[in-house]
């Protein structure tokens, strides 16, 4: 009983609510890699130096030091690649899938997970067109989805849009530094 009370107290202090799936991962993959018939996972194990470099660039590195990119092919042709990125917020985690065209530009962004608390804010930002602002961004670009919808959403929805911007920035940095050369090969 004491462990349960201690766990509840930690949850209240950290203000984290349960995670909810907004879009299932397979559906996000189909959306971001349309026409792909075969899918391949490429794990990139970052050295300590590379993980530090990524952390310095976007204040993040994957928890286990492994970046997993998924590449879709139609026959021998690369359709695109994607990566799932987690963004931790005071309200709980978000998961964002960022798809890339073979040339490296962002093909699309799908928010796959939020929390019970943040779900309405995320959905409001998405309805306002948040993900439209990311299409075509290249590695090195600064995402501006939150700024694009700032005047049409409430403050907390704008805050969550800023968190999605962080996730997209992380994906762009990871793709540009560690994957761009891999996915463009046929």
In DSSP terms, 21 is beta-bridged to 113
Angle, helices 155-178/48-58, rounded to nearest 10 degrees:
140
Mean pLDDT within 72-96 = 95
pLDDT digits (tens, 9 = 90+) for 4-54: 666 555 555 556 789 999 999 999 999 999 999 999 999 999 999 999 999
Distance (Å, rounded) from C-alpha 184 to C-alpha 186?
Answer: 6
Burial class (CB in 10 A: 0-12, 13-18, 19+), 143: buried
What is residue 12's predicted lDDT score, i.e. its pLDDT? 56
Burial class (CB in 10 A: 0-12, 13-18, 19+), 78: buried
pLDDT digits (tens, 9 = 90+) for 101-146: 999 999 999 999 999 999 999 999 999 999 999 999 999 999 999 9
**Six-digit token string for 107:** 């093909």
Beta strands 38-45 and 19-21, pairing class: unpaired
What is residue 70's predicted lDDT score, i.e. its pLDDT? 95
In DSSP terms, 68 is beta-bridged to 43
Distance (Å, rounded) from C-alpha 50 to C-alpha 65?
Answer: 9
Give 184's pLDDT tier (boundaries 50, 70, 90). very low
- The residue that leads in pLDDT, 179 or 146, is 146
Q: How many CA atoms lie within 13 A of 181 on its CB side?
A: 3
Residue 59 has pLDDT above 50, yes or no: yes
In DSSP terms, 115 is beta-bridged to 19
- The residue that leads in pLDDT, 180 or 109, is 109
What is residue 3's predicted lDDT score, i.e. its pLDDT? 67
Three state DSSP letters for 137-170: CCCCCCCCHHHHHHHHCCHHHHHHHHHHHHHHHH
What is residue 185's predicted lDDT score, i.e. its pLDDT? 46
Distance (Å, rounded) from C-alpha 142 to C-alpha 117?
Answer: 27
Distance (Å, rounded) from C-alpha 60 to C-alpha 56?
Answer: 7
**Six-digit token string for 92:** 């709980």
What is residue 17's predicted lDDT score, i.e. its pLDDT? 85
Contact 130, 145 (CB under 8 A): yes
Give 61's pLDDT tier (boundaries 50, 70, 90). confident
């Amino acid at each position: 009983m004491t462990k349960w009370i201690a766990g509840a107290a930690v949850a209240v202090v950290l203000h984290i609510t349960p995670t909810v799936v907004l879009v299932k991962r397979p559906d996000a993959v189909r959306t971001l890699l349309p026409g792909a018939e075969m899918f391949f996972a490429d794990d990139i194990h970052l050295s300590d130096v590379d993980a530090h470099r990524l952390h310095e660039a976007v204040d993040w590195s994957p928890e286990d030091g492994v970046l997993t990119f998924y590449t879709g092919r139609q026959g021998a042709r690369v359709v695109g690649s994607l990566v799932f990125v987690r963004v931790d917020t005071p309200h709980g985690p978000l998961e964002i899938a960022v798809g890339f065209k073979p040339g490296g530009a962002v093909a699309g962004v799908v928010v796959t997970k939020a929390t019970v608390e943040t779900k309405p804010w995320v959905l409001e930002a998405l309805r306002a067109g948040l993900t439209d602002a990311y299409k075509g961004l290249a590695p090195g670009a600064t995402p501006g989805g939150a700024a694009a919808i700032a005047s049409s959403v409430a403050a907390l929805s704008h805050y969550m849009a800023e968190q999605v911007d962080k996730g997209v920035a992380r994906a762009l940095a990871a793709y540009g530094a560690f994957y761009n050369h891999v996915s463009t090969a046929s």
